[in-house]
Structure 1
Amino acid sequence: MKSLYNKFISFIHTIQGKIAFYPTLFSIAGFSFAILMLYLEKKGISAFVLEHVPQLVINNADTAKTLLSFLTGGIISIMVFSFSMVMVMLNQASSNFSPRVLPDLISNRSHQYILGIYLATILYNIFTLVGINPRETDKYQLPGFSVLIGIIFTVICLGAFLYFIHSISQAIQINNILDNIYGKAKERLESLLENESEKAPNFPDSSNWKTYYSSKTGYFQNVAINNLKDVCEDQGIQLKILPFQGMFVLQEIPIIQISKEIDNNLVKQVLSNFNFARGEFVEDNYVLAFKQITEIGIKAMSPGINDPGTALSTIDYLTELFAIRLKKNDRTIFTSKNSDPLIEITTVNFREILYQVMVSYRTYCKHDLSCIQKLFIMFKYLLLQEIHFPEYHDALIEEAKLLYEDTKQTITNATDLKRIEELYQSLPKQGHKQLKNKNSNTENII
C-alpha cells in the first residue's frame, strides 16, 4: 500500500505541469456542484431563500434562461480570448528568449486556476440551464437560487479575467521569467542541501554489477526513491541509477546496476518507480535552470535581438546559482536507517555544469566587453565563496583562463585588453575556502 501511495504521489507530481491538470479538476468540481444544486433545488432551497430574501431570487423562467445563456456565452468568449493571449505569450517567449522556458510558462498554476474557473462556471451554468423547465409556472419550482450562484460565479470570472490580463503581462517580462527560473532552482538546490549529509558515505564499485535496461523512452524526470529504498532493504541489494536526471533515455539502454542478479518481476517492480516525460521542469532538475538561463543570455546576444542588458542579468542569476551549487556534493547517495549506502544517483558534476555554461558565453559573448567584465566579476565572487571540494576552485580557475585566452584573440583594442588583463590578474588563483568555514569574506569583489 505504501508503495502504491509513493507511486501515486510521484505520478501526480509529474502531471501537475500539464496545462489541462487543474482545469480538469475545476471542471469536475463545477459539474459536481451543479448536480448538488439540482438536488438541493428538489429539496426546496430556492423556496426557502425566496421566503426570506426574495430580492435575491429570479422567479421568471424566461428571464433565468436568457440570463444564464447570455452569461455562458460571455464566459466562453472571455476564455477564448484568454487562450489566445496564452498562445501569443508562448510564441513571443519562444522567439525572444528560449523554447525551453515554455514548459514553465505553460505550467503556471495561476493561469491554470483561471482557465479552470472559466470551465467550472460554464459547466455549472449549462447544467443549471438544463434544470429549468419553462412550463413550470410556480415560482417556487424555479431554481432561482442556483441561477443566483451562477451570476456570482460569472462575477468571479470577470475578476479572474482582470487578474489574468495583469498576470500574463507580468509573466512575459524577461526579469520575471529569470526570477521565476532562479527561484525554482534555488528552492530545489536548498532542498537537496538540507537532505545531504555532511560527508557522503562510500558507495561500492559497481563496475561488475548486473546491468538492466530501460523499457521506456523519454526524459528521466524523477524516481520514487522511498519505494526503491524499501526494495533494496527488503531484498538486501544495492542499486546505482545510471542516467542523470533530465537526461533523454532511449529504450534498451543501461538504466540501473544492481549488486546481484534479480528476477524479472523484481526488475519490473524497480523500473516501475521511474517516471519519464517528454518535457522537463526546473522543480525536478535544477540543472535545467542553468541551461535555460544560459540560452536566454545567448539568445539576447544574437544579432536579431541584440540585448546585452538581458545577457548581463542572466550572468547575475547564474552567479548566485553557482554560489549555491558550490556547497553541494557531486555525489547523491541514499542510505538506510543504519546509514548503510543503498542507492547512488548519477548527477552532473560541478565542473561539467560550469563548462557547459561557459562554453556558450565564450563562444557568443567574447566580443562584448561588458559581458566579459561581468563574467570575470562572477569568477572573482565565486572564488571567494565556501566550497565543498577543492576541485571546484580548480574548475573555476581553468574556466577563467579559457575565457581570458579566448577574449585576447577576439578583442584588439589595447585599452580593452588592459582592462581584461587587470580583471584576470585580480582573481585569487590559490587557496580555497572549505564549506566548514562560515566566515567567508566577499568584500571588494568589484
Structure 2
Amino acid sequence: MPLLFAIGATLLALGVTAIDESLDTSLRLPFLFSGGPEGARALLAAIITSMISFTGLVFSITVVVLQLTSSQFSPRVLRSFLEDRFNQVALGVFVATFVYGLVVLRSVRGTAQVDPFVPQFAVALAFVLVLVSVLVFLSYINHIAQSIRAATILSNISDETRALIDDRFPADSQPEPWLSAGDGPSRVISAEDPGVVEWIDDTALARAAERAEVSIEMLRAVGEFVATGAPLARVHGRAQFDDGRLHATVRVGRERTMDQDVGFGLRQLVDIAERALSPGVNDPTTAVQALDHLHDIVRRLATRALPPRQRVTDEGRLLLSVPQPDFADYLALAFDEIAHWGRDSPRIERRIEIALRDLEVAARPEHRGAVTDAIARHRCAAPSSTLDALSPSDSGLR
C-alpha cells in the first residue's frame, strides 16, 4: 500500500504543477503560497526532511511493536499487525507526502530576479499534506498503543475466528452423513512443493471432478503441512484427471491462515495462553482472558452441526471430500494444552472446569460425548459443589 500512495503522490504532484503552469496565479489568493522560488525551496526542503524523519520513526515504532508482540504473545499473531490497514495507511501518507514534496521541488525554477516559477497550488497542497500527516501520526500513536493490548489482540483473533465459523458452519446447518469414495481404482497425486495447505477451492475442484467423472479425496486438511512428493490427494475412478487442476485449486503456502482454518484461530489463542503461563511471563490473567474467548468459540461450535466438507452431485455421487477436525478435535485443542501448563494454577483449573460444565449443558447431542470425555480427562467427573453448570461463575478467582 505505501507504494500505491507513492505512485499516487507522484501523479498528483505532476498534475497540480501542470495546472499551476496553465493558470494565472498572479492574483495572490490567500490560501496560495505567496513566496518566491527561494522560499518555496526552503519550505519544500523542510517538508521533505520532516517526512522522511516521520517515516523512519513510524517504521521504528512498528518494528519494536512487532518484536514485543512476538516475544510476549506469539509469533503467529504478527500476521494481524502486518495486515493492519491503518498502519499501512499511516506509512503510506508519510511516504506520499515525502514523494510529493520531492516532485514539486523539482518544478520550482529560477530565482526571484531571473525567470521565476513557483507552483503555488502545489506548494500550498504540500503544506496541507503536512498537516494531514501530523493528524495521522497522532492517530497512529493511539492506534499502536491500543493494538498491543492483550484484550485487543485476543478480541481481534476471536472476532476473526467467529466470522469464519459463521461462514463455514452456519447456525442453520444440519448434520449430514459421511460419504465414502468406495474401493474402486484410484491413484495418488503428490504435492509439488512443501508447505501448509492454506486454502482449497471446493467449487472449482468439485466442478473439475464432475467434468472428469472422478471423485477426489483430499488427504491433507486445511492447516496441515505436506512435504514435497508426499500424498496430497487421491483420485478415485478410471477416467483421466489433470493433476494441474488440483494444484491450481489447492494453495500451499508458508504458514497457516484464517481463510478456511478455524483451528488456526484456536491455536493462536492457545499459544497466547501458554506463553502467559510460562515462568518467564507468569501472567495467568491473560491466560484466563484467552480462555474466556476459547470458551465462547468452542460453545459456538458445540451448538452447531459440523457437517463434513464434501461435495456431491444431484444424483448423490461424491465429487470431493476434504478432511476436517471434528468437535472433539477442536475441544481438545482449546483446553488440553492449557490445562497441562496451568495445572498448578487454581484460576486456570477453575476456568476450564466452568467452561466444560457449560459446554456439557449447551452442546448438541452428537457433541456431548466429547465434552464428557474432556471432563473426565481434566478430572472434573464429579460435580463441583461450588459451581452451577446452568449458571457458571468464577468471579471468586478472577
**Both proteins in one fold, TM over 0.5:** yes
CA contact (8 A) 1:103 1:280 kept: no
2:379 is aligned to 404
Q: Where does 1:40-439 land on structure 2 (aligned, <5 Å)?
A: 40-42=19-21, 44-45=22-23, 47=24, 51=27, 53-134=29-110, 137=114, 141-194=117-170, 197-200=173-176, 202-205=178-181, 208=184, 209-260=186-237, 266-326=242-302, 327-329=304-306, 331-335=308-312, 341-387=318-364, 390=366, 392-404=367-379, 421-423=382-384
Pair 69,321 (structure 1): closer, same or farther in 2 beyond 3 Å = same
Question: Runs of 4 or more off by more than 6 Å in structure 1?
Answer: 424-428
SS of alignment partner, residue 214 of structure 2: coil
Match of 1:444 among 374, 391, 395: 391
Q: 1: distance between equivalents of 2:239 and 2:109?
A: 66
Q: 1: distance between equivalents of 2:283 and 2:83?
A: 27
Q: CA deviation at 1:59?
A: 4.6
Q: CA deviation at 1:253?
A: 1.1
Deviations 1:319-374 (Å, cap 9, x if unpaired)?
Answer: 00101122141521235577764322221222122223333123211111111111
RMSD: 2.7
CA contact (8 A) 2:200 2:222 kept: no
Deviations 1:237-282 (Å, cap 9, x if unpaired)?
Answer: 3322221112222211111222336657x21132122223223333
Q: 2: distance between equivalents of 1:260 and 1:168?
A: 55
Which deviates more from structure 2 when the two are superposed, residues 190-199 or residues 96-105?
190-199
CA contact (8 A) 1:400 1:424 kept: no
2:396 is aligned to none
Pair 378,55 (structure 1): closer, same or farther in 2 beyond 3 Å = closer
Q: CA deviation at 1:427?
A: 8.3
Q: 2: distance between equivalents of 1:203 and 1:401?
A: 31
2:4 is aligned to 25
SS of alignment partner, residue 384 of structure 1: helix
Q: 1: distance between equivalents of 2:316 and 2:47?
A: 62
Q: CA deviation at 1:213?
A: 0.8
Q: 2: distance between equivalents of 1:237 and 1:125?
A: 61
Q: 2: distance between equivalents of 1:40 and 1:340?
A: 66
1:14 is aligned to none
Q: 2: distance between equivalents of 1:142 and 1:359?
A: 69
SS of alignment partner, residue 26 of structure 1: helix
Q: 2: distance between equivalents of 1:309 and 1:148?
A: 52
Alignment-mate amino acid for residue 251 of structure 2: N
Alignment-mate amino acid for residue 374 of structure 1: R
CA contact (8 A) 2:204 2:249 kept: yes
CA contact (8 A) 2:194 2:228 kept: yes
1:3 is aligned to none
Pair 26,335 (structure 1): closer, same or farther in 2 beyond 3 Å = farther
Deviations 1:372-420 (Å, cap 9, x if unpaired)?
Answer: 1111100111112142x61x21111111111117xxxxxxxxxxxxxx9
Alignment-mate amino acid for residue 329 of structure 2: E
CA contact (8 A) 2:213 2:239 kept: no
Which deviates more from structure 2 when the two are superposed, residues 268-277 or residues 286-295?
268-277
Q: 1: distance between equivalents of 2:238 and 2:36?
A: 75
Aligned length: 390
Alignment-mate amino acid for residue 372 of structure 2: I
TM-score by length of 2: 0.88
CA contact (8 A) 1:379 1:427 kept: no
SS of alignment partner, residue 200 of structure 1: coil
Percent sequence identity over matched residues? 19
Pair 250,84 (structure 1): closer, same or farther in 2 beyond 3 Å = same
Q: 2: distance between equivalents of 1:106 and 1:303?
A: 28
CA contact (8 A) 1:210 1:261 kept: no
CA contact (8 A) 2:36 2:118 kept: yes
Q: 2: distance between equivalents of 1:262 and 1:132?
A: 71
CA contact (8 A) 2:339 2:352 kept: no
Q: 2: distance between equivalents of 1:54 and 1:96?
A: 53
Q: 1: distance between equivalents of 2:375 and 2:7?
A: 56
1:412 is aligned to none
Which deviates more from structure 2 when the two are superposed, residues 222-231 or residues 365-374?
222-231
Q: CA deviation at 1:33?
A: 2.4
Pair 333,27 (structure 1): closer, same or farther in 2 beyond 3 Å = farther
Unaligned runs of 5+ in 1: 1-21, 406-419, 429-442
